[in-house]
Amino acid sequence: MDVAGRDRTRALALALPALVVFAAFWLLPMVRLLHVGASGPGGIAAYAAVVTDAQYFKSLVSTVALSAATTVATLALSLVAGLFLQRNRFPGRSLLVSMLTLPLAFPGVVVGFLVILFAGRQGLVGDLAEWLFGEKLVFAYGMTGLFTGYLYFSIPRVILTLMASIEKLDPALEEAARSLGASTWQVTRDVILPALRPAMLSSGAICFATAMGAFGTAFTLATQINVLPITIYNEFTNYANFPMAAALSIVLGFITWAVLALARSASGAGVAAAA
C-alpha cells in the first residue's frame, strides 16, 4: 500500500473508538428498546397505541398542540425582537442581546422553577394581578405554565439563529423594494421573510422537536400534565409498564427525528436539536 493509502486507513481508524462507544451504548440499547416495545401483551401493536389508545392519543395531540403553539409564538416574538436589535443601534443594545442569551444553558428543571417564581402561588404575576385587579393570577402548574416555560427556553435559541441570518440580509434589496414604492409590510412579507425562511424553518424545527421531547420543565411544574414525555415517564416509573414506555418513546423519538430531518431537507441547512 502506498503512503497516502496507509494514511487514509489510519485516519479512518481514528473514528473507531467513537464508533465502538456509539454502537455499544446507543445502537445496541436502541435495538433492545425496539424489541422491548414489541414484547408487551399486544405485541407489535404497541407501536400503534399512540393513535389507537384514546388516552395516549390525547397525550400526543396535546403535546403536538403545545409544541406548535410554542414554535409559532417563539418565532413571532424572536423575529420582532431580532429585527429590532439587529437594525437599530442604541446604548444598552449589547446588554439586551446578552440578556436574551442568558437562559441558553439553563436545564428544563430550572426553567420550570423560574416559571413557578414568575406565575406560581407566590409568583410575580400573581402579586401584580392582585395589586391591579384584586385577584391573584396563578397559571404555572398546567399547560399555560408549560407553554410559558417552553417559550422561555426557546426564545434565546431561536433569536440567536434569526439574528445571525438577519445580519446577512442585503439591505440593498430592501432599499430597492422601497424605492419601487413597497410599504413596510410589503417589504417584510416579500423581501425579509422569504430571505429568513431557511433560518426560520431550521430554528422552528429545533424549537418544535425540543418542546415535544422536553421533560424537566413539565416534571418541575406538575407530574400530572398530560404530555407525552410525562406519560412515558409515568408508564415506566409508576406502572412499570416497560413495553408501553419503550414503544411510546420510540414513536416520540421518531417524530422529533422526522421533524428535524424534514426541516433540514427543506431549508438546506444543518439542523440539530438542542436539549
Partner 1 sequence: MSARARPPRFWVQAAITLAVCAFLVVPVGLSILAGLTENFFVGLRSGLTLRWLGEVWSLYAGTVGMSVGIALGCLAVTLAIGVPAAYSLSRVQNRWTRLFEELLVLPVAIPGLATALALILLYGGWRELRASPVFILVGHVLFTLPFMVRSVLAVMLAVDLRTLEEAAASLGAGFWRRFASVVLPNAMPGILAGSLMVVTLSLGEFNLTWMLHTPLTRTLPVGLADSYASMRLEIGSAYTLVFFIIIIPLLVAMQWAARRAQPRRA
Q: Which of 112, 198 has the CB closer to partner 1?
A: 112
User: Binders of partner 1 among 115-134, rule CB under 8 A?
Assistant: 115-118, 122, 124
Residue entry with cell 425579509: 192
Give the Cβ contact number of residue 12 at 10 Å.
Answer: 10
Q: Which of 59, 60, 75, 112 binds partner 1 (CB under 8 A)?
A: 112
Shortest distance, CB of residue 55 to partner 1, whole angstroms? 18
Is residue 15 near partner 1 by the rule CB under 8 A?
Answer: yes
Exposed e or buried b per residue across 37-70, where buried means at least 16 C-beta atoms within 10 angstroms of its C-beta: bbebebeeebbebbeebeebeebbebbbebbeeb
User: Binders of partner 1 among 172-191, rule CB under 8 A?
Assistant: 184
Q: Which of 40, 108, 126, 145 binds partner 1 (CB under 8 A)?
A: 108
User: Binders of partner 1 among 204-223, rule CB under 8 A?
Assistant: 209, 212-216, 219-220
Q: Which of 1, 18, 172, 240 binds partner 1 (CB under 8 A)?
A: 18
Q: Which of 43, 51, 257, 268 binds partner 1 (CB under 8 A)?
A: 257
Is residue 113 near partner 1 by the rule CB under 8 A?
Answer: yes
Is residue 193 near partner 1 by the rule CB under 8 A?
Answer: no
Shortest distance, CB of residue 143 to partner 1, whole angstroms? 18
Give the Cβ contact number of residue 27 at 10 Å.
Answer: 11
Strand, coil or helix: 224 = coil
* Cα 30 to Cα 27, 51, 140, 183, 249, distances in angstroms: 5, 22, 35, 53, 11
Is residue 239 near partner 1 by the rule CB under 8 A?
Answer: no
Among 40-48, 54-62, 129-137, 227-235, the segment contacting partner 1 (CB under 8 A)? 227-235
Shortest distance, CB of residue 19 to partner 1, whole angstroms? 7
Helical H segments across the chain, by residue range? 3-13, 16-22, 28-37, 49-52, 54-87, 93-101, 108-119, 124-133, 143-168, 171-179, 184-187, 193-213, 216-221, 228-237, 242-267
Among 46-54, 108-116, 131-139, 191-199, the segment contacting partner 1 (CB under 8 A)? 108-116
Shortest distance, CB of residue 256 to partner 1, whole angstroms? 6
Alpha carbon distance 242, 173 (integer Å) = 57
Q: Which of 143, 228 has the CB closer to partner 1?
A: 228
User: Binders of partner 1 among 152-171, rule CB under 8 A?
Assistant: 152, 155-156
Residue entry with cell 421533560: 215
Closest C-alpha among 240, 242, 243, 210 to residue 227: 210
Give me the torsion for CA of 177, 179, 181, 187, rounded to 10°.
30
Q: Which of 69, 219 has the CB closer to partner 1?
A: 219
Q: Give the cell for residue 145.
A: 405554565
User: Binders of partner 1 among 38-67, rule CB under 8 A?
Assistant: none
